[in-house]
Amino acid sequence: MRAYRLLTEVDTAAFCHKVTEALDKGWELYGSPAYAHDPVTGQMRCAQAVVKDVEGAYAPDVKLGDL
């Protein structure tokens, strides 16, 4: 199966670490990153989609962060 995740975080080093950790675990970047203002918190937020090919079939209870 091909797994998909959308990583999001406030625009700090934590976002870069989150993406780097996913890449280290075998996830691949999918598309371009996004950057937007959150009007509720007043902060800028980042998003990056990642994908990974894994064994097995999809199930709704799969923990994508554990793949």
Q: For residue range 3-59, list pLDDT tens digits in order.
A: 999 999 999 999 999 999 999 999 999 999 999 999 999 999 999 999 999 999 999
Question: What is the separation of C-alpha 51 from the centre of its chain, rounded to a whole number of angstroms?
Answer: 8
Counting beta carbons within 10 angstroms of the beta carbon of residue 50, is it exposed (0 to 12), middle (13 to 18) or buried (19 or more)? buried
pTM: 0.88
pLDDT at 5: 97
